[in-house]
Structure 1
Amino acid sequence: MDATTNNKPGYTYQAVYRYLLDRIEAAPGDVEQRLPSLRQLAQRLGVSVSSTKYAYSLLEDQGRVYARPKLGYFTRVSAHSPPAERLSSLLDTVFASARQPGMLALSSDAPAMLLSLEQPLLMIERELARQYPRSPTPLYQPFGEPELRSVLADRYTRPAQRYWQAEHVFIGADLRSVLELSLRALGLEGEVALVESPCNWAVLRQLQAARMTIIEMPLGEDGRFDLPQLQQVLSTAPVRLAVLSSATNVPQGGVMPAADKQQICAWLAEGDVWLFENDGYGELCFDDSVPRYRDYADPDRLLVFATFDKVMGAEAPYGYLLCQRHTEPLQRLFLERAFRLSPIRQKAIAKLFTSRRVEQHVRKLRATLHARMQHLQALLEAHGQGCLRIVAAQGGAGLWLEATRPVDMRRVFERLLAQRIVIAPGEIFSLRGLWRSHLRLSYTLDWRKDIPQALQQLVKAIQAEAQTP
Structure 2
Amino acid sequence: MTRAAARGYAYQTVYAYLASLIAEATGEHKIRLPSLRDLASRLDVSVSTVQHAYQLLESEGRIMSVAKSGYYAVASPAGPPLAALATPTAEPDLLQSLYHHACTPGMWALHRSDPWPGDAFGQALTTREREIRRQHRSPDSHPLGEPALRRELAARYTQATHHRWCADDVYLAADLRATLDITLAALDISGRTVMITTPASPVLLMALDAAGLDVCELPLDMGGDLDLERAAHYLRERAVALVILSSTLNGPQGALVPDTTRQALAKLLDHHGTWVLEDDDHGELCFSHETPLRDWVAPERLLVCGSFARTIGTEARYGYLLVPPEARSPMTASVRQRLLQRDFHLPPVRQKAIARLYQRRAIDGQLRSLRNGLKLNVGRLVQQLDDSLGDLLCVPMPAGGSGVWVSSRHAIDVRQVYDHLLRRHILIAPGPVFSSQGHHSQCLRIACPVNGRGLPGRVIAELRKALQSGRR
> Does TM, scored on the shorter chain, surpass 0.5?
yes
Per-residue CA deviations over 1:253-282 (Å, capped at 9, x if unaligned) read 211222222221121122121111110001
Match of 1:384 in 2: 389
CA shift, 1:190, in A, is: 2.2
Match of 1:60 in 2: none
Per-residue CA deviations over 1:26-68 (Å, capped at 9, x if unaligned) read xxxxxxxxxxxxxxxxxxxxxxxxxxxxxxxxxxxxxxxxxxx
Over 3 Å counting, the alpha-carbon distance change for 1:437 and 1:185 in structure 2 is same
Q: State how 1:244-255 maps to structure 2 within 5 Å.
A: 244-255=245-256
- Distance in 2 (CA, whole Å) between partners of 1:300 and 1:455 is 49
Over 3 Å counting, the alpha-carbon distance change for 1:448 and 1:261 in structure 2 is closer
Report the secondary structure of 1:311's partner residue: coil
Match of 1:3 in 2: none
- Distance in 1 (CA, whole Å) between partners of 2:455 and 2:302 is 45
Per-residue CA deviations over 1:290-328 (Å, capped at 9, x if unaligned) read 111101111111110001011111110100010122211
- Kindly provide the amino acid, as one letter, of the partner of residue 437 in structure 2: R
Match of 2:349 in 1: 344
Report the secondary structure of 2:445's partner residue: strand
- Distance in 2 (CA, whole Å) between partners of 1:258 and 1:115 is 34
Match of 2:215 in 1: 214
Over 3 Å counting, the alpha-carbon distance change for 1:115 and 1:443 in structure 2 is farther
Match of 1:428 in 2: 433
Match of 1:112 in 2: 116
CA shift, 1:453, in A, is: 2.3
Q: State how 1:14-413 maps to structure 2 within 5 Å.
A: 89-113=93-117, 116-134=120-138, 139-288=140-289, 290-324=290-324, 325=327, 326-413=331-418
Q: Which runs of 5+ in 2 are unaligned?
A: 1-89
Instruction: Count residues in correspondence.
Output: 379
Report the secondary structure of 2:321's partner residue: strand
CA shift, 1:342, in A, is: 0.7
Higher mean displacement: 321-330 or 382-391: 382-391
- Kindly provide the amino acid, as one letter, of the partner of residue 208 in structure 1: D
- Distance in 2 (CA, whole Å) between partners of 1:445 and 1:212 is 37
- Kindly provide the amino acid, as one letter, of the partner of residue 113 in structure 2: D
CA shift, 1:448, in A, is: 7.2
Over 3 Å counting, the alpha-carbon distance change for 1:445 and 1:406 in structure 2 is farther
**Kept after mapping to 2: 8 A contact 1:416/1:458:** yes
**Kept after mapping to 2: 8 A contact 1:194/1:241:** yes
- Distance in 2 (CA, whole Å) between partners of 1:329 and 1:279 is 22
**Kept after mapping to 2: 8 A contact 1:115/1:365:** no
Per-residue CA deviations over 1:386-427 (Å, capped at 9, x if unaligned) read 111013210112111011111011111100111111111001
- Kindly provide the amino acid, as one letter, of the partner of residue 125 in structure 1: E
What's the TM-score once normalised by structure 2's chain length?
0.77
- Distance in 1 (CA, whole Å) between partners of 2:458 and 2:359 is 44
- Distance in 2 (CA, whole Å) between partners of 1:124 and 1:246 is 30
CA shift, 1:204, in A, is: 0.5
- Distance in 2 (CA, whole Å) between partners of 1:174 and 1:87 is 28
- Kindly provide the amino acid, as one letter, of the partner of residue 438 in structure 1: C
Higher mean displacement: 187-196 or 341-350: 187-196
CA shift, 1:249, in A, is: 1.4
Q: Which runs of 5+ in 1 are unaligned?
A: 1-85
**Kept after mapping to 1: 8 A contact 2:194/2:244:** yes
Instruction: Give the one of 438, 445, 463 matched to 1:440.
Output: 445
- Distance in 2 (CA, whole Å) between partners of 1:102 and 1:253 is 27
What's the TM-score once normalised by structure 1's chain length?
0.78
CA shift, 1:446, in A, is: 5.6
- Kindly provide the amino acid, as one letter, of the partner of residue 287 in structure 1: S
- Distance in 2 (CA, whole Å) between partners of 1:293 and 1:385 is 34
Over 3 Å counting, the alpha-carbon distance change for 1:145 and 1:381 in structure 2 is same
